Chains A and B, each alone.
Chain A
Protein backbone atom coordinates (compact mmCIF):
# COMPACT_ATOMS: atom_id res chain seq x y z
CA UNK A 1 0.00 0.00 0.00
CA UNK A 2 1.60 3.23 -1.12
CA UNK A 3 1.65 6.29 0.98
CA UNK A 4 0.10 8.56 -1.56
CA UNK A 5 1.41 11.92 -0.54
CA UNK A 6 -0.70 14.93 -1.21
CA UNK A 7 0.94 17.52 -3.42
CA UNK A 8 3.21 19.69 -1.33
CA UNK A 9 3.35 17.17 1.49
CA UNK A 10 6.78 16.66 3.01
CA UNK A 11 8.33 13.85 4.90
CA UNK A 12 11.72 13.08 6.35
CA UNK A 13 13.84 10.38 4.80
CA UNK A 14 15.47 8.17 7.34
CA UNK A 15 17.07 5.63 5.00
CA UNK A 16 19.81 6.91 2.71
CA UNK A 17 19.17 4.42 -0.08
CA UNK A 18 16.09 4.24 -2.25
CA UNK A 19 14.99 3.65 -5.82
CA UNK A 20 12.97 5.76 -8.21
CA UNK A 21 10.92 3.55 -10.50
CA UNK A 22 9.15 4.59 -13.70
CA UNK A 23 6.79 2.23 -15.46
CA UNK A 24 4.34 2.20 -18.33
CA UNK A 25 2.59 -0.19 -20.71
CA UNK A 26 4.05 -0.57 -24.17
CA UNK A 27 0.81 -0.45 -26.11
CA UNK A 28 1.61 1.11 -29.43
CA UNK A 29 -0.95 3.79 -30.03
CA UNK A 30 -3.15 3.54 -33.09
CA UNK A 31 -0.82 5.95 -34.84
CA UNK A 32 1.76 3.18 -34.72
CA UNK A 33 4.22 5.14 -32.63
CA UNK A 34 5.44 3.88 -29.31
CA UNK A 35 5.65 5.79 -26.05
CA UNK A 36 9.05 6.57 -24.60
CA UNK A 37 9.11 7.93 -21.06
CA UNK A 38 12.32 9.17 -19.49
CA UNK A 39 13.20 9.59 -15.83
CA UNK A 40 15.80 12.27 -15.10
CA UNK A 41 17.42 13.71 -12.02
CA UNK A 42 18.81 17.20 -11.43
CA UNK A 43 21.42 17.57 -8.68
CA UNK A 44 21.24 21.20 -7.73
CA UNK A 45 23.53 23.42 -5.68
CA UNK A 46 22.69 26.03 -3.05
CA UNK A 47 21.96 28.58 -5.80
CA UNK A 48 19.26 26.37 -7.35
CA UNK A 49 21.41 25.61 -10.41
CA UNK A 50 23.36 22.60 -11.67
CA UNK A 51 27.01 22.91 -10.51
CA UNK A 52 27.91 21.51 -13.95
CA UNK A 53 26.43 19.44 -16.76
CA UNK A 54 27.34 16.07 -15.26
CA UNK A 55 24.98 16.80 -12.35
CA UNK A 56 22.11 16.24 -14.77
CA UNK A 57 21.42 12.49 -14.77
CA UNK A 58 19.47 11.25 -17.78
CA UNK A 59 19.65 8.67 -20.58
CA UNK A 60 22.94 10.03 -21.91
CA UNK A 61 24.60 10.53 -18.52
CA UNK A 62 23.77 7.63 -16.24
CA UNK A 63 25.95 8.33 -13.18
CA UNK A 64 26.57 11.36 -11.02
CA UNK A 65 30.25 12.14 -10.36
CA UNK A 66 29.87 11.16 -6.69
CA UNK A 67 28.15 7.86 -7.66
CA UNK A 68 25.18 8.81 -5.46
CA UNK A 69 22.74 8.64 -8.37
CA UNK A 70 22.86 5.73 -10.80
CA UNK A 71 20.40 5.45 -13.67
CA UNK A 72 19.97 1.81 -14.77
CA UNK A 73 19.49 2.87 -18.39
CA UNK A 74 17.01 4.04 -20.97
CA UNK A 75 13.94 2.01 -21.88
CA UNK A 76 12.50 3.11 -25.21
CA UNK A 77 9.18 1.28 -25.27
CA UNK A 78 7.94 0.33 -21.81
CA UNK A 79 8.18 -3.37 -22.68
CA UNK A 80 8.25 -5.59 -19.62
CA UNK A 81 6.42 -5.52 -16.31
CA UNK A 82 6.98 -3.37 -13.26
CA UNK A 83 9.55 -0.58 -13.36
CA UNK A 84 10.83 0.07 -16.88
CA UNK A 85 13.41 2.62 -15.77
CA UNK A 86 15.12 2.68 -12.40
CA UNK A 87 17.34 5.18 -10.70
CA UNK A 88 19.23 4.20 -7.55
CA UNK A 89 19.89 6.94 -5.02
CA UNK A 90 22.32 6.77 -2.11
CA UNK A 91 22.19 9.96 -0.10
CA UNK A 92 25.22 8.92 1.98
CA UNK A 93 27.40 9.43 -1.10
CA UNK A 94 26.05 12.82 -2.16
CA UNK A 95 28.75 15.40 -2.63
CA UNK A 96 28.52 18.38 -0.24
CA UNK A 97 27.81 20.87 -3.05
CA UNK A 98 24.39 19.26 -3.73
CA UNK A 99 21.52 20.74 -1.75
CA UNK A 100 18.57 19.54 -3.71
CA UNK A 101 17.65 16.61 -5.95
CA UNK A 102 14.79 17.04 -8.35
CA UNK A 103 13.04 14.13 -10.08
CA UNK A 104 11.47 14.64 -13.46
CA UNK A 105 9.57 12.46 -15.93
CA UNK A 106 9.18 13.49 -19.54
CA UNK A 107 7.76 11.98 -22.73
CA UNK A 108 10.43 11.80 -25.39
CA UNK A 109 9.36 13.70 -28.54
CA UNK A 110 5.92 14.40 -27.07
CA UNK A 111 5.44 17.40 -29.32
CA UNK A 112 6.18 15.70 -32.63
CA UNK A 113 4.32 12.52 -31.67
CA UNK A 114 1.41 14.52 -30.23
CA UNK A 115 1.42 12.47 -27.05
CA UNK A 116 0.58 13.19 -23.43
CA UNK A 117 0.57 11.12 -20.25
CA UNK A 118 -3.17 10.48 -20.61
CA UNK A 119 -2.50 8.30 -23.65
CA UNK A 120 0.07 6.11 -21.88
CA UNK A 121 -1.64 3.30 -20.06
CA UNK A 122 -0.62 2.38 -16.54
CA UNK A 123 2.15 4.96 -16.42
CA UNK A 124 3.47 5.64 -12.95
CA UNK A 125 6.44 7.04 -11.09
CA UNK A 126 7.22 5.88 -7.60
CA UNK A 127 9.85 5.80 -4.89
CA UNK A 128 10.73 2.50 -3.24
CA UNK A 129 12.72 2.02 -0.08
CA UNK A 130 15.31 -0.75 0.23
CA UNK A 131 12.68 -3.32 1.14
CA UNK A 132 10.74 -2.35 -1.99
CA UNK A 133 7.98 -0.60 -0.05
CA UNK A 134 6.36 2.22 -2.03
CA UNK A 135 6.86 5.54 -0.27
CA UNK A 136 5.15 7.65 -2.89
CA UNK A 137 3.47 6.97 -6.21
CA UNK A 138 1.86 9.05 -8.90
CA UNK A 139 -0.29 7.54 -11.61
CA UNK A 140 0.85 9.72 -14.46
CA UNK A 141 -1.96 8.96 -16.90
CA UNK A 142 -4.58 9.80 -14.27
CA UNK A 143 -2.94 12.66 -12.39
CA UNK A 144 -1.27 14.46 -15.31
CA UNK A 145 -3.31 13.39 -18.34
CA UNK A 146 -2.82 16.46 -20.53
CA UNK A 147 0.78 17.10 -19.55
CA UNK A 148 3.98 15.88 -21.17
CA UNK A 149 6.42 16.47 -18.31
CA UNK A 150 6.17 16.41 -14.55
CA UNK A 151 8.45 17.25 -11.66
CA UNK A 152 7.11 14.66 -9.28
CA UNK A 153 9.30 15.25 -6.29
CA UNK A 154 12.37 16.81 -4.81
CA UNK A 155 14.68 15.91 -1.99
CA UNK A 156 16.32 18.77 -0.18
CA UNK A 157 18.64 19.27 2.78
CA UNK A 158 17.38 21.08 5.88
CA UNK A 159 19.59 21.26 8.99
CA UNK A 160 21.67 18.35 7.71
CA UNK A 161 18.55 16.24 7.28
CA UNK A 162 17.15 15.14 3.94
CA UNK A 163 13.45 15.69 3.36
CA UNK A 164 11.22 14.61 0.49
CA UNK A 165 8.57 16.88 -0.96
CA UNK A 166 5.90 15.57 -3.32
CA UNK A 167 5.86 18.33 -5.92
CA UNK A 168 3.45 16.94 -8.51
CA UNK A 169 3.58 19.84 -10.91
CA UNK A 170 3.02 18.98 -14.55
CA UNK A 171 4.32 20.99 -17.48
CA UNK A 172 3.52 21.06 -21.16
CA UNK A 173 7.11 21.48 -22.29
CA UNK A 174 9.83 18.88 -22.33
CA UNK A 175 13.16 18.21 -20.69
CA UNK A 176 14.46 21.47 -22.12
CA UNK A 177 12.08 23.40 -19.85
CA UNK A 178 13.74 21.89 -16.80
CA UNK A 179 17.23 22.38 -18.22
CA UNK A 180 16.43 26.06 -18.64
CA UNK A 181 15.22 26.17 -15.05
CA UNK A 182 18.28 24.53 -13.51
CA UNK A 183 21.01 25.83 -15.81
Chain B
Protein backbone atom coordinates (compact mmCIF):
# COMPACT_ATOMS: atom_id res chain seq x y z
CA UNK B 1 0.00 0.00 0.00
CA UNK B 2 1.48 3.31 -1.04
CA UNK B 3 1.40 6.15 1.46
CA UNK B 4 -0.54 9.26 0.48
CA UNK B 5 1.34 12.10 2.07
CA UNK B 6 -0.11 15.33 3.39
CA UNK B 7 1.70 18.65 3.40
CA UNK B 8 4.31 18.69 6.13
CA UNK B 9 4.37 14.92 6.56
CA UNK B 10 7.70 13.21 7.15
CA UNK B 11 8.25 9.52 6.62
CA UNK B 12 11.10 7.09 6.86
CA UNK B 13 11.88 4.91 3.90
CA UNK B 14 11.11 1.55 5.46
CA UNK B 15 9.02 -0.73 3.31
CA UNK B 16 6.30 -2.96 4.71
CA UNK B 17 8.72 -5.85 4.19
CA UNK B 18 11.02 -4.22 6.73
CA UNK B 19 13.68 -3.43 4.15
CA UNK B 20 14.78 0.11 3.49
CA UNK B 21 14.07 1.78 0.18
CA UNK B 22 17.42 2.75 -1.38
CA UNK B 23 16.89 2.34 -5.10
CA UNK B 24 13.86 4.12 -6.46
CA UNK B 25 12.45 6.63 -8.89
CA UNK B 26 11.19 10.08 -7.94
CA UNK B 27 8.63 10.93 -10.57
CA UNK B 28 6.41 13.91 -11.16
CA UNK B 29 3.29 13.90 -13.18
CA UNK B 30 0.97 16.71 -14.11
CA UNK B 31 -2.09 17.34 -16.20
CA UNK B 32 -2.43 19.47 -19.30
CA UNK B 33 -5.02 22.24 -19.24
CA UNK B 34 -8.02 21.25 -21.35
CA UNK B 35 -10.59 23.81 -22.39
CA UNK B 36 -13.72 23.40 -24.48
CA UNK B 37 -13.38 24.75 -27.97
CA UNK B 38 -15.93 26.55 -30.14
CA UNK B 39 -19.49 25.54 -29.18
CA UNK B 40 -18.01 22.78 -27.06
CA UNK B 41 -17.40 20.71 -30.17
CA UNK B 42 -13.68 20.26 -29.74
CA UNK B 43 -11.25 20.23 -26.90
CA UNK B 44 -8.36 22.62 -26.78
CA UNK B 45 -5.38 21.17 -25.04
CA UNK B 46 -2.82 23.47 -23.63
CA UNK B 47 0.41 21.66 -23.01
CA UNK B 48 2.28 22.50 -19.87
CA UNK B 49 6.04 22.29 -19.66
CA UNK B 50 7.10 21.78 -16.08
CA UNK B 51 10.68 21.06 -15.16
CA UNK B 52 11.59 18.76 -12.31
CA UNK B 53 14.92 19.67 -10.77
CA UNK B 54 16.84 18.96 -7.61
CA UNK B 55 19.67 20.45 -5.62
CA UNK B 56 21.88 18.50 -3.22
CA UNK B 57 22.86 20.17 0.03
CA UNK B 58 25.93 19.13 2.01
CA UNK B 59 26.52 19.01 5.77
CA UNK B 60 27.74 22.65 5.67
CA UNK B 61 24.32 23.68 4.25
CA UNK B 62 25.91 24.48 0.89
CA UNK B 63 24.73 23.37 -2.54
CA UNK B 64 27.18 20.70 -3.65
CA UNK B 65 25.45 19.29 -6.73
CA UNK B 66 22.35 19.72 -8.90
CA UNK B 67 20.19 18.20 -11.59
CA UNK B 68 18.22 20.40 -13.92
CA UNK B 69 17.53 20.69 -17.60
CA UNK B 70 20.58 21.43 -19.76
CA UNK B 71 18.17 23.49 -21.89
CA UNK B 72 18.28 26.38 -19.40
CA UNK B 73 20.25 29.20 -20.91
CA UNK B 74 23.64 29.64 -19.28
CA UNK B 75 23.32 33.48 -19.33
CA UNK B 76 20.18 33.29 -17.20
CA UNK B 77 21.73 30.78 -14.84
CA UNK B 78 24.88 32.85 -14.42
CA UNK B 79 22.82 35.76 -13.09
CA UNK B 80 22.03 33.49 -10.14
CA UNK B 81 25.56 32.14 -9.86
CA UNK B 82 24.41 28.74 -11.12
CA UNK B 83 26.24 26.34 -13.43
CA UNK B 84 24.94 24.71 -16.62
CA UNK B 85 22.22 22.11 -16.15
CA UNK B 86 23.04 18.42 -16.22
CA UNK B 87 21.26 15.09 -15.89
CA UNK B 88 23.63 13.09 -13.67
CA UNK B 89 25.06 13.87 -10.25
CA UNK B 90 28.82 13.72 -9.82
CA UNK B 91 28.53 10.62 -7.62
CA UNK B 92 26.31 8.92 -10.19
CA UNK B 93 23.60 8.40 -7.57
CA UNK B 94 20.85 10.50 -9.17
CA UNK B 95 19.94 10.58 -12.81
CA UNK B 96 17.37 12.76 -14.58
CA UNK B 97 15.57 11.13 -17.51
CA UNK B 98 15.31 14.39 -19.44
CA UNK B 99 12.92 17.16 -20.26
CA UNK B 100 9.22 16.45 -20.95
CA UNK B 101 7.93 19.42 -22.89
CA UNK B 102 4.21 18.66 -22.89
CA UNK B 103 2.62 16.89 -19.91
CA UNK B 104 -0.22 14.42 -20.17
CA UNK B 105 -2.83 15.12 -22.78
CA UNK B 106 -6.03 13.13 -22.77
CA UNK B 107 -5.77 12.31 -19.08
CA UNK B 108 -3.21 10.68 -16.85
CA UNK B 109 -1.21 8.09 -18.78
CA UNK B 110 -0.01 6.35 -15.62
CA UNK B 111 3.63 7.17 -16.22
CA UNK B 112 5.47 10.15 -14.85
CA UNK B 113 6.38 13.08 -17.05
CA UNK B 114 9.76 13.69 -15.50
CA UNK B 115 11.74 11.25 -13.42
CA UNK B 116 14.89 11.26 -11.38
CA UNK B 117 16.24 7.85 -10.46
CA UNK B 118 17.87 7.64 -7.05
CA UNK B 119 20.35 5.20 -5.55
CA UNK B 120 20.88 6.33 -1.98
CA UNK B 121 23.73 3.87 -1.49
CA UNK B 122 25.81 5.86 -3.99
CA UNK B 123 25.06 9.35 -2.66
CA UNK B 124 28.19 11.17 -1.48
CA UNK B 125 28.56 10.84 2.28
CA UNK B 126 28.56 14.61 2.80
CA UNK B 127 25.12 15.09 1.22
CA UNK B 128 22.43 15.72 3.84
CA UNK B 129 19.42 16.94 1.88
CA UNK B 130 18.09 16.68 -1.65
CA UNK B 131 15.34 19.16 -2.58
CA UNK B 132 12.97 18.41 -5.46
CA UNK B 133 11.10 21.27 -7.08
CA UNK B 134 9.04 22.11 -10.15
CA UNK B 135 9.24 25.19 -12.32
CA UNK B 136 6.93 26.10 -15.14
CA UNK B 137 8.68 27.23 -18.31
CA UNK B 138 5.39 28.75 -19.50
CA UNK B 139 3.11 31.33 -17.90
CA UNK B 140 0.37 29.13 -16.39
CA UNK B 141 0.17 28.90 -12.62
CA UNK B 142 -0.69 26.01 -10.34
CA UNK B 143 -4.27 27.17 -9.91
CA UNK B 144 -4.82 26.21 -13.56
CA UNK B 145 -2.73 23.04 -13.82
CA UNK B 146 -5.19 20.28 -12.86
CA UNK B 147 -2.77 18.35 -10.67
CA UNK B 148 0.92 17.92 -9.91
CA UNK B 149 2.00 14.75 -8.22
CA UNK B 150 5.33 13.61 -6.87
CA UNK B 151 5.88 10.02 -5.93
CA UNK B 152 8.56 7.54 -5.00
CA UNK B 153 8.32 4.13 -6.58
CA UNK B 154 10.39 1.07 -7.31
CA UNK B 155 10.86 0.19 -10.94
CA UNK B 156 12.19 2.00 -13.96
CA UNK B 157 11.17 5.24 -15.68
CA UNK B 158 8.95 3.22 -18.02
CA UNK B 159 7.67 0.60 -15.58
CA UNK B 160 6.22 1.11 -12.12
CA UNK B 161 6.73 -2.00 -9.98
CA UNK B 162 5.55 -0.74 -6.66
CA UNK B 163 4.65 2.73 -5.46
CA UNK B 164 6.04 3.63 -2.05
CA UNK B 165 4.60 7.08 -1.38
CA UNK B 166 2.97 9.90 -3.28
CA UNK B 167 2.11 13.50 -2.64
CA UNK B 168 -0.49 15.29 -4.68
CA UNK B 169 -0.88 19.01 -5.20
CA UNK B 170 -4.22 19.74 -6.84
CA UNK B 171 -5.27 22.94 -8.54
CA UNK B 172 -6.44 25.34 -5.85
CA UNK B 173 -7.16 29.05 -5.71
CA UNK B 174 -4.29 29.54 -3.24
CA UNK B 175 -1.91 28.79 -6.12
CA UNK B 176 -2.93 31.79 -8.23
CA UNK B 177 0.27 33.37 -9.60
CA UNK B 178 2.32 30.50 -8.18
CA UNK B 179 4.36 29.05 -11.00
CA UNK B 180 6.79 26.93 -9.02
CA UNK B 181 6.48 24.44 -6.21
CA UNK B 182 9.08 23.15 -3.80
CA UNK B 183 7.68 19.61 -3.72
CA UNK B 184 9.70 17.83 -1.08
CA UNK B 185 13.07 16.70 0.12
CA UNK B 186 14.99 13.59 0.90
CA UNK B 187 17.04 14.22 4.02
CA UNK B 188 19.29 12.38 6.40
CA UNK B 189 18.41 12.19 10.05
CA UNK B 190 20.47 10.11 12.47
CA UNK B 191 22.14 8.64 9.39
CA UNK B 192 18.85 7.44 7.96
CA UNK B 193 17.20 8.88 4.88
CA UNK B 194 13.69 10.23 5.23
CA UNK B 195 11.30 12.09 2.95
CA UNK B 196 9.44 15.28 3.76
CA UNK B 197 6.44 16.52 1.75
CA UNK B 198 6.93 20.28 1.55
CA UNK B 199 4.50 21.41 -1.13
CA UNK B 200 5.22 25.13 -0.89
CA UNK B 201 4.22 27.10 -3.98
CA UNK B 202 6.26 30.14 -4.96
CA UNK B 203 5.77 32.93 -7.47
CA UNK B 204 9.19 32.26 -9.06
CA UNK B 205 9.35 32.55 -12.81
CA UNK B 206 12.83 31.05 -13.05
CA UNK B 207 14.55 28.11 -11.39
CA UNK B 208 17.36 30.34 -10.11
CA UNK B 209 14.91 32.14 -7.82
CA UNK B 210 13.64 28.84 -6.44
CA UNK B 211 17.15 27.60 -5.70
CA UNK B 212 17.94 30.88 -3.93
CA UNK B 213 14.73 30.54 -1.94
CA UNK B 214 15.64 27.02 -0.83
CA UNK B 215 19.05 28.23 0.37
CA UNK B 216 17.58 31.28 2.11
CA UNK B 217 14.57 29.74 3.82
CA UNK B 218 14.78 25.97 3.92
CA UNK B 219 18.25 25.15 5.29
A residues at B contact (CB < 8 Å) = 27, 29-31, 114-119, 121, 141-142, 145-146
- Most A CB contacts (10 A, CB to CB) among B8, B182, B189, B197 go to B8
Verify A114–B7 contact, CB threshold 8 A: yes
Contacts of B27 in A (CB 8 A): none
Asked whether A142 lies within 8 Å of B7 as measured between CB atoms, the reply is no
Q: What is the CB-to-nearest-CB distance from B174 to chain A, in angstroms, rounded to a whole number?
A: 7
Which partner residue on chain A sits nearest B194 by CB separation? A142
Q: Determine whether B10 belongs to the interface, using a CB cutoff of 8 Å to chain A.
A: yes
Task: Assess whether B201 is in contact with A119, with CB atoms less than 8 Å apart.
Answer: no
Please name all residues of chain A whose beta carbon is closer than 8 Å to the beta carbon of B7 when the two chains form the complex.
114, 116, 118-119
* B217 partner residues in chain A, CB cutoff 8 A: 27
Q: List 9 A-B contacts (CB under 8 A).
A: A30-B202, A31-B174, A116-B8, A116-B9, A118-B7, A118-B196, A119-B7, A145-B8, A146-B8
Q: Are B9 and A145 in contact (CB under 8 A)?
A: yes
Please report the C-alpha to C-alpha distance between residue A163 and residue B178 in the assembled complex, in whole angstroms. Answer: 51
- What 1/0 flags go to B180-219 for Cβ under 8 Å of A? 0010000001000000110011100000000000000110
A118 and B202 contact, CB distance less than 8 A: no
Contact B8 A118, beta carbon cutoff 8 Å? yes
Number of A-B contacts (CB under 8 A): 35
Q: Is the CB of A30 within 8 A of B200?
A: yes
Count B-side interface residues using an 8 Å CB cutoff. 16
Inter-chain contact A30/B201, CB cutoff 8 Å? yes
A27-B217, A142-B189 given; A119·B8 CB < 8 A: yes
Which of the residues B10, B182, B200 comes within 8 Å of A145, measured between beta carbons? B10
Counting CB contacts under 8 A, is B35 at the interface?
Answer: no
Ordered nearest first, which 9 A-B pairs have the shortest CB separation? A118-B8, A30-B200, A119-B8, A145-B10, A116-B8, A146-B9, A145-B9, A118-B9, A118-B10
Contact pick for B8, options A27, A31, A117, CB 8 Å: A117
The CA-CA distance from A38 to B10 in the complex, in Å, is 22
For window 147-191 of chain B, which residues contact chain A by CB distance below 8 Å?
174, 178, 182, 189
Closest partner residue, chain B, to A118 (CB atom): B8
Chain B residues within 8 Å of A118, by CB: 7-10, 196-197
Q: Which of A27, A31, A115, A119 has the largest number of chain B CB atoms within 10 A? A: A119
A30 to chain B: which residues have CB within 8 Å?
A: 178, 182, 200-202
Kindly supply a per-residue 1/0 record for chain B positions 76-95, scoring 1 wherever the CB is within 8 Å of any chain A CB and 0 otherwise: 00000000000000000000
User: Which of A115, A116, A146 gathers the greatest number of chain B CB atoms within 10 Å?
Assistant: A146
Residue numbers in B under 8 Å from A142 (CB-CB): 10, 189
Residues of B within 8 A of A29 (CB): 200
The CA-CA distance from A29 to B7 in the complex, in Å, is 12
A116 touching B6 in the complex, CB below 8 Å, given contacts A27-B217, A29-B200, A30-B200: yes
By beta carbon, the residue of chain B nearest A116 is: B8
The residue from A31, A114, A115, A141 contacting B10, defined by CB atoms under 8 A apart: A141
With most chain A CB atoms within 10 A of its CB, the pick from B9, B10, B218 is B10
Q: Which residue of A lies closest to B180 (CB)?
A: A30
**Inter-chain contacts of B8 with A (CB < 8 A):** 115-119, 141, 145-146
CA distance A119 to B200 in the complex (A): 10
Min Cβ gap B52→A in Å is: 18
- Contacting residues, chain B, for A31 (C-beta < 8 A): 174
Q: How far is the CA of A124 from the CA of B98 in the complex (A)?
A: 40
Which chain B residues in 9-25 approach chain A with CB under 8 Å?
9-10
Distance in angstroms from B112 CB to nearest chain A CB is: 24
Select A146's contact among B6, B174, B200, beta carbons within 8 Å: B6
Docked pose: A119 CA to B196 CA in angstroms: 9
Q: How far is the CB of B73 from chain A (nearest CB, A)?
A: 26
6 more A-B residue pairs beyond the given contacts A116-B7, A119-B7, A141-B8, with a C-beta to C-beta distance below 8 A: A30-B182, A30-B201, A118-B8, A118-B9, A118-B197, A141-B10
